[in-house]
Amino acid sequence: MIRRIESTDVKRAMEQVKEELGPDALIFSTRTWRRDQSFGVLGREMVEVIACEKRDLFEASLPETLFALYYELLEEGVDEAIVKSLIKAMKERAPKEVIKDERALRMGLGELMMKIMPPVLPVKKGKRVMALVGPTGVGKTTTALKLAVTEIIAGRRAVIITSDAERVGAAEHLLLCGKAAGVPVEVAMNRREIQRAMERHGDCPLILLDTPGRNYMLNGWTAELQELLPPLPTLEVHLVLAASTRDAELSKLIRRFLSLPLTALIFSKLDESITFGTIFNQTVRFGMPLSYFTTGQRVPEDIEKATKIRLVDLILKLSQEGWR
Ligand SMILES: Nc1nc2c(ncn2[C@@H]2O[C@H](COP(=O)(O)OP(=O)(O)O)[C@@H](O)[C@H]2O)c(=O)[nH]1
Ligand SMILES: [Mg+2]
């Protein structure tokens, strides 16, 4: 719990911190300023302390540097149990000089986080068939376009086969976008039509299957999707999820989708997210590789291949630049 304590002098403020938050409280900042003019020409000097209570024995046992990082990870939305095991490992393994050095500690923690993440999905050489599945509005169609247009710009070929034609205008919109960008788009409403369209583009090195989104809580929806997907052993099924979705909701969603042969997770809308801990939680929790991140609405610019270092950097701000 973070508290803001105000007092007339530093000593009194510190006493109050100890009294209210315990002797191990972590001081985040102290600041003095002059209140208003009613106490004389210069006003009255005030002290403000922002401090955080250590809630349990584990927290109380941490040196200040580690406690600050521990708190930061929790604020980033990393799962408490994962945070505790990471910080515990750092406390036990990191040499004393590292524990004292905030930057070295941060780097060490980053390395440890990368170690516990499953490997990201390698880009397969040769022919790829990628299905994009997920709830409505997360960016499946936009992501398919980004991936296809990137290929076309690089002088390779790609095709989008969409069965997202239930929403009025969805297929028309995609057909128009595809035409403008030089990406062939086929509409196919069931597995047979999809397979036929795939045969027509049999020599195309990248086939993207864009699927409809539904309320994922509807029973039977993933079964319907399963019916749609061609039974190819090499098929990649990428589940697209919006990065700002709540952690518990994401876990529920992934569990629902596990009835499909999922290959990887794509996190979309990183530009609309402030914290990134949930992405880390999901990939670790389900041992499910990440494949791409999308970072805005621009086609094809706003997509990147997911990497572990990128995610850890987003969470720990190692490069101090943020994702932009
Ligand atoms: N801010 C932001 N918007 C995105 C991103 N990806 C897609 N969108 C937008 O999200 C909306 C829904 O995208 P769409 O591809 O139709 O989602 P679908 O229903 O999953 O196919 C559109 O307005 C997209 O422009 C992203 O990475 N960032
Ligand atoms: Mg769509």
Q: Where are the domains of the chain?
A: 1-53, 128-307
Q: How far is the CA of 136 from the centre of ligand 2 (A)?
A: 7
Counting atoms of ligand 1 from 1, which one is nearest the CA of 170?
16
pLDDT at 294: 98
pLDDT at 42: 65
Segments in the chain below pLDDT 50: 321-324
pLDDT at 139: 96
pLDDT at 108: 95
Sheet holding 2-7, edge to edge: 2-7, 45-52, 26-34
184-224 pLDDT, tens digit each: 999 999 999 999 999 999 999 999 999 998 776 677 788 88
pLDDT at 40: 61
Counting atoms of ligand 1 from 1, which one is nearest the CA of 136?
19
* DSSP secondary structure letter of residue 118: P
User: The dihedral of CA 113, 116, 120, 122: what is its sign?
Assistant: positive
Q: Does domain 128-307 have CATH number 3.40.50.300?
A: yes
Q: How far is the CA of 295 from the centre of ligand 1 (A)?
A: 10
- The ligand minimizing its distance to the Cα of 136 is 1
Q: How far is the CA of 297 from the centre of ligand 1 (A)?
A: 6
In this structure, the residues whose C-beta lies within 6 A of any atom of ligand 1 are 136-142, 213, 268-269, 271-272, 294-297, 302
Query: Which mutation among 133, 136, 138, 142 tests ligand 1's pocket best, with the greatest number of atoms within 8 A of CB?
Result: 142
d(CA 211, CA 229): 9
